[in-house]
Structure 1
Amino acid sequence: MAIDKNSFVPPYYQLAQILEHQIKTGAYRPGEALPSEAELSEKYGLSRMTVRRSLSHLIRAGLIRAERGKGTFVSRPELDRAVFVMEEFHKDAAARGMAASSRLLEARLVPAPEKAAAMLQVRQGTKVLFVRRTLLTDGEPLAYDRKYLRYDQGRPILENELQYQAFPDILEKHAAALPMSSKMILKVTNLNEEEARALRTSPGSPAFLVEQFLLAADNRPVGWGWCLYRGDRYQLTSVTATI
């Protein structure tokens, strides 16, 4: 991608679009440094002032942040984390005076089954990562989590990441395209035998079902899955401030 100096689009904005595309497609990951102003100036044939204006545009858009004396770094996307992801689960448990933990039950490459392939917009049979784990408080399982992830096979995922990190965090590091938004759907259901066994309760017990999608900048899904919360032991609370 090059700067077209004959275009009616200002050069600073063209560079901002190039860098934005590179960030959103994963060429630069959250926390990673962008090239310096001098490097960008030389690479794209622009003045330092034009490059600085491009970077200021990306800072205002929330895509990068500047650290004095260090440079500019890709910001972490503001995903809708709510109470349903692992980090919040741990915080919620701690607020109740309980010890939260997770147990990895399964993590393997699988051919995408029909429904997962449709949800991830890949061909059926495409290799995807399937993760299955339970979330526990004081050693008792309260949630059963299953996810299918599209990921960059050049970036191996470590077991401790699967064990302890939230779904969006894993995809930030390992998806071929950076997730930029999250969609979650809350339903109620009854547990089947497998789910009841994982949650140490009876089949047919009520549960909250949270279906979650992680989407790239072009709205292409990079992750999909669902998490079940025991209806007899868990409550979902939303607090809205009023003026």
Structure 2
Amino acid sequence: MAKMLDDGSSTPLYAQLRELFKGQIVDGAFVPGERIPSEDKLNGLYGVSRITIRRALQELVNEGYLVKCPGKGTYVSERLPGTSVSSKVRAKFTQNNDVQSFTEACESNNQRAGAHLISIEQVEGLDDARAFFGFGNEGRLLRVVRIRTADRTPIMVEENYFPAEAYAFLRSADFEDTSLYDIILSNGHGEPMLTEPCDLDLEKASAELAPYLDVPVGEPLFCLEGRYYDTDGSPMYLGRQHIVGTRYTFRI
């Protein structure tokens, strides 16, 4: 049975709930990486409003005890406050055809890579895409958008554009917590390569991106754009990554 909150206390209900959850996390009732109950479940357990529940959870997110994964739920942080290990992902990025995947970057930092599909849809190729893929006006692309996480912390939203016909297998692929490179390799293609410089710019988190990355609108982001080739030199995909700058470091 859930511990009841005290309506008569001078301590607000959201603060009582926050401290209750924090104590359960510290005591191991909820372990790192575990998903906490839904708002509906918590409402049934404690009989408090959704506003109260959301404020308590958001304060624990702010304090580093919980991590929100849009579309999946709220999880106990893999790196609880007070631990000495940095949660920042440090990724190797060179221009000698050596591209380190996000999964590899996480592994080199002893972190667990995650992925969650936001959308996959067919779109028309713009002029720069047609030039890259050698399309005519009839060229169509598959736009694959995912959230990438490290130890459940959102790091980036990646949007990749593939030739729709050659990469039709992506429509039925399991993207959940899966490396895109592994999906590509398992379907007969080589490992993606860079043969030309990428573009790295700064941008601000839009109202669309911010909720997926669990950052405020206007948060500074890296925007990395690159053209990736198959090992036989054929164009593979156009990639654009929207990266939370405070959670990611490039090694160039």
The TM-score with structure 2 as length reference comes to 0.50
1:91 corresponds to:
107
Aligned length: 154
* Structure 2 spans left out of the alignment, 5+ residues: 1-95
Residue 160 (structure 1) shift: 1.4
CA contact (8 A) 1:162 1:170 kept: no
1:81 corresponds to:
99
Determine helix, strand or coil for the equivalent of 1:81: coil
CA deviations on 1:146-203 (whole Å, 9 max, x unpaired) are 000125558623331575123x44444558x757732451513112412333212123
Change (3 A) 1:180 1:189: closer
The TM-score with structure 1 as length reference comes to 0.52
Determine helix, strand or coil for the equivalent of 1:232: helix
Change (3 A) 1:111 1:217: same
**Identical aligned residues as a percent:** 18
CA deviations on 1:106-145 (whole Å, 9 max, x unpaired) are 1122222344333333234522211000111232211110
The 5 Å alignment of 1:1-243 reads 80-82=98-100, 85-93=101-109, 95=110, 98-150=111-163, 152-153=165-166, 156-157=169-170, 158-161=172-175, 164-166=178-180, 168-174=181-187, 181-183=193-195, 185-193=198-206, 194-216=208-230, 219-238=233-252
Bigger shift: residues 224-233 or 124-133: 124-133
Q: Distance in 2 between matches of 1:200 and 1:123?
A: 39
CA contact (8 A) 1:189 1:208 kept: yes
Q: Distance in 2 between matches of 1:180 and 1:144?
A: 19
Q: Distance in 2 between matches of 1:197 and 1:124?
A: 35
One-letter amino acid of the structure 2 residue matched with residue 202 of structure 1: P
CA contact (8 A) 1:129 1:149 kept: yes
Determine helix, strand or coil for the equivalent of 1:203: coil
